[in-house]
Amino acid sequence: MSTHPNGPRILRTSTRRGAATMCAATLVGLTAAGAAWATTPTTAHTKAAPRTCAASELYLSMGRQEGAAGSLYWPIQFTNTSTTSCALRGYPGVSALDTAHHQIGPAAAHSGTSYGTVTLAPGHSASAVVRTTNGPVGGPCLRTGAYLRVYPPASRTAILVPAPWKTCSGVFRTGPVNTEGAI
User: Which of the two residues, 10 and 87, has the higher pLDDT score?
Assistant: 87
Q: Which amino acid is at 106?
A: P
d(CA 98, CA 109): 19
Domains of the chain as residue ranges with CATH: 2-39 (no CATH), 55-174 (2.60.40)
Query: What is the model's pLDDT at position 182?
Result: 73
In which element (H, E) is residue 25 found? Answer: helix 16-39
What is residue 181's predicted lDDT score, i.e. its pLDDT? 75
For residue 58, give the amino acid letter. L
Spatial separation of the C-alpha atoms in residues 48 and 87, rounded to whole Å: 12
- Per-residue pLDDT at 180 exceeds 90: no
pTM: 0.73
- Start-end of H helices in the chain: 16-39
pLDDT of residue 32: 43
Mean residue pLDDT of the chain comes to 82
What's the rounded mean pLDDT across residues 69-90?
A: 96
Q: What is the pLDDT of residues 109-145, one digit of tens each?
A: 999 999 999 999 999 999 999 999 988 887 899 999 9
Higher pLDDT: 27 or 87? It is: 87
